[in-house]
Structure formats: C-alpha cells, structure tokens
Structure 1
Amino acid sequence: MNQTKINIVSLGCSKNLVDTELLMKQLDANQFQVSCDEDSSDARTIIINTCGFIGDAKEESIDMILQYADAKKAGVIDTLFVMGCLSERYRDDLAVEIPEVDKFFGKFEWKSIVKELNKEYKPDFSNMRMITTPKHFAYLKISEGCNRSCSYCAIPIITGKHISRPIEEIVEEAKNLAATGVKEFLVIAQDLSYYGHDLYGKSMLADLVEKLSELEGLEWIKLHYAYPTQFPYDILKVMRENPKVCRYLDIALQHSSDHMLSLMRRGINRERTVELINHIREEVPGITLRTTMLVGHPGETEADMEDLKDFVKEMKFERLGVFPYSDEDDTYAAINYEDNIPLELKESRKEEIMLLQQGISYDVNEKRVGEELKIVIDRKEGDYYYGRTEFDSYEVDPEVLIPVDGNQLNIGEFYTVKINDFEDYDLFAEII
C-alpha cells in the first residue's frame, strides 16, 4: 500500500466534480499520486467529496463515509478526510457521529486539505485541473451559489449567494483545458441566467460563450441549468448563429401549475413559462430542451398533477427528468409547509410523468431516422461505439450506437453518421 497515493471519491453533481479536479491538480503538483473513484486503489489516504442536496444524495454520502470509516477501523486506510456540501452543512453532527473521520472540510475549504497533508497550496496551479471525464470534454463551472429563493432548495443555504467568476479567469481555465485536447465544454452553474449580474451589472452569459467559442480546437459548447426568470435572451442569437454553440439548453422548470409555481416561489407562472419556451424554440430552430420537474411538493393536488401532465404533453420536451420532493432542513418548504404527501404517491406521480416522456422521446427519436448528424465518440463497449450528438449531454441524455464490426473509430473524435434505427431513448447509426 502506498503512503503517497490519495484516492478521492467524488459524489453528487458535476459542479462537485470540478472541485474534485481542482484539488487533484494541487495534490499532483505536490507529488502525490492521486486518483478519482478508483475501486481497487491501494491508497492509504481517502478524501470523500460529498453531496448534500437531496435525501438520496445525502444518504449515499453518509453510506460512503461509513464504508471508509469501517476500512479505517480495520486498518485498510490510515487517513480519512470529508469535504463538500454535506460536510459544509452538518460537519459538527458528523464529527460526533463518525469520529473515525480525521477532519471535515466545508465545500469551499478544500484548499486547506493540501495544508493538512503538510504541503503548500500552489497558486500557479489555481486555475488548472486534472480531468476525470473522458479527455475530449470537460465541465466548466462559471459561478457558485444562487440568489433564488425556491421553497424546496437547500443550495443557497449550502453555497451562499451567487458569485460569478470573472470572464478572464474562466477563459484562461478553458484555454488550459483546450490545450490538453478538450474539444467540448459543458458549461455549468446553479443558475446560468444570473451569470454576470453581480460582477458586471447585467447578464454576460452571451459574451462569455462568444469568447469561449474563439478557443482553438474547441468544437462544442453546451449550456446547463438556466433559470426561467431573468432568462438571458441574448444567448439565443449566439446559439442560433455560432456553429460551436450547440442547439441544446438545460433549463429547470420544476412545475407548470400556477398554484405550485407560487408555492415553490419560482417567480414565474404557467403563461410566461409557455411564452419563454415557445420563444426559445422560435429563435433557435431545432433546439433540444432538457428540463426537470419536481413532484410531490407540499400542497400538490391531483389538479396540479393533471396540469403538469397536460403541460408535458403540450410542450413535448426532448429531454425531461423528474424528482420526487424531499424535505430539506431549513428550507422555506421545510419550515412553512407540511410534507404530507406519502413517498409512494410521490413515486407514482414521478412514474406517470416519465411514462408520458417515454412516448415523447420515442416520437423525437423516430423523427431522427434518416438524418445525418455530427457526433462525438465517448467510448467503446461490447459490440458498439457510443457517441453523442450536439443534442445530448454526457450521462444524462440518450446515446448514438454504432456497430464496432466494420468500423475503426477513435474515442474523442467527431464523425458524421446517418441514423438508421431507434429505441425509446437511444439511436442507432452508421458512419457516412
């Protein structure tokens, strides 16, 4: 077993993964052998980057901490650190409950881990990362925190107010990544719509994306997690006219009924939501919209569910996910509402929406048959290469499958394919 080897277990969202990659670069610069999520690692030091967003994610984080706490008691590892969102919120309680952890660090204290390991934080590497995704793409986090006051969300409690990163800093990071072979940036934030307001007094998302698109070697830019209120309409022109900006937008809507949008404190109503979606589709023909819905929020009635089902059928989102509500400590909903909808009913409502979406996805894919599309190859597995179009993001969206037989394709390279078959979610294609 190796005393200089460190394995980081990264849980939760892609924003968390960026923090992991920043820490990995600092550890690497300090001569540690560092890995991420390596099951067979012989590292004597384990760092767990936790998630604290919703119930299932918190449970996964706690289970992982307990697993490595047992490993430490058994002498398999020597040092166990915990960082991230769960640690930010509950470190005092966790320290009492799981004393095997050597130290807990908050979400923004990961730099202190370097010092705890008797090394120095290296400013020259502050804007550099060790990529854990396939080397041809990377997540690019452009802000922290959130200024919204959605009833159910603990993110502002965990991360604080929205803080935009300066454009120059983001572009520098992206330039470093592009120089290593990154060809696709998945631009992420808790709230893309607010980017720039705190630093520049207005939305600067469109300006940032334009500057990113100028980087040499870059092929695709995808945008994730826009907010419908204060939506930056000027980004639509960029998406329509700039060939490097994918016709893809992840915009979380959460619900459709005015009753629920009010209870959720979303700052928008059904009519304005429909107007926004229609406007986006008119401005960017052929765009793929990904959204998420939240069911089972306190106060949700059967009438609200019927409204949501009608909305999903009417808007026909190309990509859609559903989450059941969970009561989160100190949120507006947890303090002011009673979580009186049974979990079984929440799950049933989730399945209702996903069944509708399955049919919509089938229709979307059927219309793709015969089209010629540009794809990037992410991996080779079994009898197929797996790729994505500009309309698909990594891990959360459908894939394009190309038979291995008769093809010699390179991971990370772009190809033109013709879609020749489909399933509910995935497409099948042949190389042109």
Structure 2
Amino acid sequence: MSQTKINIISLGCSKNLVDTEVLMKQLSVNQFQVTCEEENSDAKTIIINTCGFIGDAKEESIDTILQYVEAKKAGKIDQLFVMGCLSERYRDQLQNEIPEVDKYFGKFDWKAIITELHKDYQPDYKNLRMVTTPKHFAYLKISEGCNRQCSYCAIPIITGKHISRSMEDILEEARNLVRDGVKELLVIAQDLSYYGYDLYNESKLAELIEKLSEIDGLEWIKLHYAYPTQFPYGILKLMRENPKVCRYLDIALQHSSNNMLKLMRRGIDRDKTIALIRKIREEVPGITLRTTMLVGHPGETEEDISDLKQFIQEMKFERLGVFPYSNEEDTYAANNYQDDISLEEKERRKEDIMLIQQDISLEVNRKKLGQELKVLIDRKEGDYFYGRTEFDSYEVDPEVLILAENCDLKIGEFYQVKITDFEDYDLFGTVI
C-alpha cells in the first residue's frame, strides 16, 4: 500500500520553519510521505504554515492560500489545511472569507492536524525534526512568545507571553540534530535575552549555550534575536573564549533617537544603547553585530531620521536591515497613534539608510582582504561554491564565493579560505 503524500508550504520566519519540521517528523512517523515546498508536487494534501507578522507577510500567506484553493477547485488536490500565525490571529475571518479551506489550525494546535488525518501524536518523537535546511546546519528554537510591549509588534498578540523550553528538551533536540549530521546550530527565539526567567527565575542563556557547546560534533553556534534590555552579558565570555560560540550576535535595536525609542516602548534610551554596543565590542573583540531598524513609525520626524543616520555611521554595524513600519491592528501603535507617514516616504527613509549601510559593509569587507577565514560550504551554484564565515548567518548575510573550477569542495565541510576580493556585501576567496 502506497503512503499518502503531504506537501507542506512553510512561509515566514525560521521559527515557523522549525514548527514545520516538527510537524513533518510527526507525519513521517505516522507513515505519511512528507515533502516541504516541493515544486510540481503530486501530493493531494497540502498544509500551509502561514505568517501573520506584518502586512507583506500576511499578503503572501493569503495569496498562497488562494493559489491552493484554485488548485483544489481544479481537482489537483483533495485536502487543504492552513496553520500558523495568520490563522492563529484571524481564524474566524479566514473561515468566513475563504471557506474552501478544509480546516484552519492555529500556531499551537498543530497536533490536531494529525488527529484530523486519523493518526496519533507521538510524544516519543517530540524532540525530533525532519530538517529541511541543508543537512549540515539547523535552527534551534529555545522559546516561544514575548513579554515585551513594543508599540508596533503583533507577536505577543499572536504567540502570547514568553515561554522558555526546558533545557533538557533543547539539549536532547540538539544532540539528535548533531547525530544526524548538523555541524552548525542557529539558536533562535523571539527574545533570547529573556530565556530562563520564566522557568528558573534568572537568565539561563549562557548556561544553555555552554552546554550546547559540549556536544561532540557541533562546531558552530550562532545567536539570533537578543533584546537590548535585560541583556544576557554571560554570553559574551563564551563568545570570547569558546571557539564553538561564534563571534556573531543578532540584536534588534529598531531605532536610536530617544523620541522614537519612547514612542516604540523599547525600554531603553540612546545612551544605554550605545553603552551596550560598546561593552559588547569591548568584551568580544572582532564580533560581528547584526541589527534591524524600523523606519516610518508614527511620530518619526526628520530629526529622528537624522539621528538614526548619525547613529549608524558612528556604530558601523557589520550587518543591518531596515523595515518600513506596518500598521498592525490591535497593537499599541495602531490603537494610540496615527499612521500618517506615506508608504513612499517610509521606503525613501529605508533606502537612504541602506545606502549608508552599503558603504559601511564595503569598508568591513575591505578589511577582510588577505585574511584567512574558516568557511562552511553551503552549496554549489553556477561557477561558484558558496560558503559562510562565523560572521554570517544563513540567507540574511553575505557569502564567500569560491571559484569551482579551481577546487572540488564538499557541501557541509569547513575549509580555510584566503579572501582575495570583495564587493559591497559578498567576499571572494581561494581555498588554502
């Protein structure tokens, strides 16, 4: 008897992808044939894991749902399920407006999908996943939700309060991943800084990362999405002294001006932000900092933008992304401020800042010319192998390009590479 085939479409962030991978494992052990985003799939059951964070992500989720509704009408698929953040937040509206979907599930009731398919959730496999990334790295989610009250953010509305996973479960999952060939763990959470407070009444991030580093076979650990208040300073010593903990930190700052930090309800001011950045760089020489900035938030003036530009030029973040403000219903900003900055103006402010960051990135790369760096090879594409240093995370950061005609490299292996050239973002090198 052939297995029933299910194709899962995973939208949104890496945290969503982890949820998809957990569900895929459960379906697999229940004897389903499971694929993720398989093109031209002949699967008759489709599950869409949606994102509902900002306007563009919601639009993509709805467009994807409608695409598969049309496929169902045409008889190409038999069942269509929708799960994730969008249906967690808007389930009733979606059921009314797109009733062709067989059933909607929230972000946290995905186990009901297994029941809907007449199978049982398998608790023995709770810390196992079917990894969809290249097998040499994986994301590791250590918590859900967020306790912060940032004005613009819908995450607490969707996911609720911060809930740390137990250290035992995280370590078991990490060991399973490494046993299956993972060499790099990208540790993720909505708020890494808060890890442990709800379970242990204190920050446990440093202890967790140290225990992860003790896993044989794991070579790199990268940290994503720290929050500047209640910053877990204990991780800095690990980054400085533990070769497995990469000198890389993703810390979302959002803005620099005191006016905007107050309106955004960030719980920190400009001087404290600068002091934090300087302490991090002092404690971890050579660290790469990635951050994100939000422009066009209600109340943002030209003076605020000038302040932000000056701040970025002064701090010289190695990696920086910019997002235009999206007015999300039921957030503090949507309920209390007027979204009176045009989309065109938001985009202009974004582009102005990215031009500044482009020059900074070019200078950062220029300093790497001639250096010998450890590089993890992710893929071969066209004439090049593409890899990353400890200072780069998957998909969001620059890459190292190595001409394939000069060498035969293995995907998922580490090599010492001498940097021979550079562009605004990417580096070029040769294997030593």
* Shorter-chain TM-score tier: over 0.9
Q: Which stretches in structure 2 are left out of the alignment for 5+ residues?
A: none
The one-letter amino acid paired with 1:53 is F
Cα deviation, 1:264-287, whole Å, max 9, x if unaligned, reads 000000000000000000000000
Q: Which stretches in structure 1 are left out of the alignment for 5+ residues?
A: none
> Which residue of 1 is the match for residue 421 of structure 2?
421
CA separation in 1, counterparts of 2:72 and 2:94? 16
Aligned counterparts, 1:88-237, within 5 A: 88-237=88-237
Cα deviation, 1:45-95, whole Å, max 9, x if unaligned, reads 000000000000000000000000011011110000000000000010001
> Which residue of 1 is the match for residue 343 of structure 2?
343
CA RMSD between the two structures = 0.6
> Which residue of 1 is the match for residue 394 of structure 2?
394
Tell me, yes or no, if structure 1 residue 407 matches structure 2 residue 413: no
Cα deviation, 1:278-315, whole Å, max 9, x if unaligned, reads 00000000000000000000000000000000000000
> Which residue of 2 is the match for residue 363 of structure 1?
363
User: Once the 2 structures are TM-superposed, how far is the Cα of residue 371 of structure 1 from its aligned partner?
Assistant: 0.3
Residues 193, 231 of structure 2: 8 Å contact kept: yes
The one-letter amino acid paired with 2:72 is K
> Which residue of 1 is the match for residue 329 of structure 2?
329
CA separation in 1, counterparts of 2:376 and 2:75? 44
Partner SS for 1:38: coil
Partner SS for 1:43: coil
> Which residue of 2 is the match for residue 276 of structure 1?
276
User: Once the 2 structures are TM-superposed, how far is the Cα of residue 126 of structure 1 from its aligned partner?
Assistant: 1.0
Tell me, yes or no, if structure 1 residue 67 matches structure 2 residue 70: no
Partner SS for 2:367: helix
> Which residue of 1 is the match for residue 377 of structure 2?
377
User: Once the 2 structures are TM-superposed, how far is the Cα of residue 246 of structure 1 from its aligned partner?
Assistant: 0.1
> Which residue of 1 is the match for residue 354 of structure 2?
354
Residues 51, 58 of structure 2: 8 Å contact kept: yes
Residues 7, 38 of structure 2: 8 Å contact kept: yes
The one-letter amino acid paired with 2:13 is C
CA separation in 1, counterparts of 2:232 and 2:174? 22
Partner SS for 2:49: strand
User: Once the 2 structures are TM-superposed, how far is the Cα of residue 406 of structure 1 from its aligned partner?
Assistant: 2.0
> Which residue of 1 is the match for residue 6 of structure 2?
6
> Which residue of 2 is the match for residue 264 of structure 1?
264
Residues 3, 33 of structure 2: 8 Å contact kept: no
CA separation in 1, counterparts of 2:145 and 2:372? 40
CA separation in 2, counterparts of 1:123 and 1:302? 54
Partner SS for 1:206: helix
CA separation in 1, counterparts of 2:215 and 2:40? 37
Tell me, yes or no, if structure 1 residue 290 matches structure 2 residue 325: no
Residues 3, 45 of structure 1: 8 Å contact kept: no
The one-letter amino acid paired with 2:353 is I
Aligned counterparts, 1:243-254, within 5 A: 243-254=243-254
Q: Figure out how many residues of one structure are paired with residues of the other and give that number.
A: 431
CA separation in 2, counterparts of 1:312 and 1:46? 44
Partner SS for 1:322: strand
CA separation in 2, counterparts of 1:316 and 1:160? 34
Cα deviation, 1:240-279, whole Å, max 9, x if unaligned, reads 0000000000000000000000000000000000000000
Residues 290, 318 of structure 2: 8 Å contact kept: yes
TM-score between the two structures when normalised by the length of structure 1:
0.99
Residues 3, 43 of structure 1: 8 Å contact kept: no
CA separation in 1, counterparts of 2:209 and 2:189? 13
User: Once the 2 structures are TM-superposed, how far is the Cα of residue 3 of structure 1 from its aligned partner?
Assistant: 7.0
CA separation in 1, counterparts of 2:164 and 2:32? 31
User: Once the 2 structures are TM-superposed, how far is the Cα of residue 183 of structure 1 from its aligned partner?
Assistant: 0.3
CA separation in 2, counterparts of 1:207 and 1:287? 20
CA separation in 1, counterparts of 2:283 and 2:373? 21
Tell me, yes or no, if structure 1 residue 22 matches structure 2 residue 29: no
Cα deviation, 1:190-245, whole Å, max 9, x if unaligned, reads 00000001100110000000000000100000000000001011110011000000
CA separation in 2, counterparts of 1:310 and 1:37? 42
Residues 8, 37 of structure 1: 8 Å contact kept: yes
Partner SS for 1:60: helix
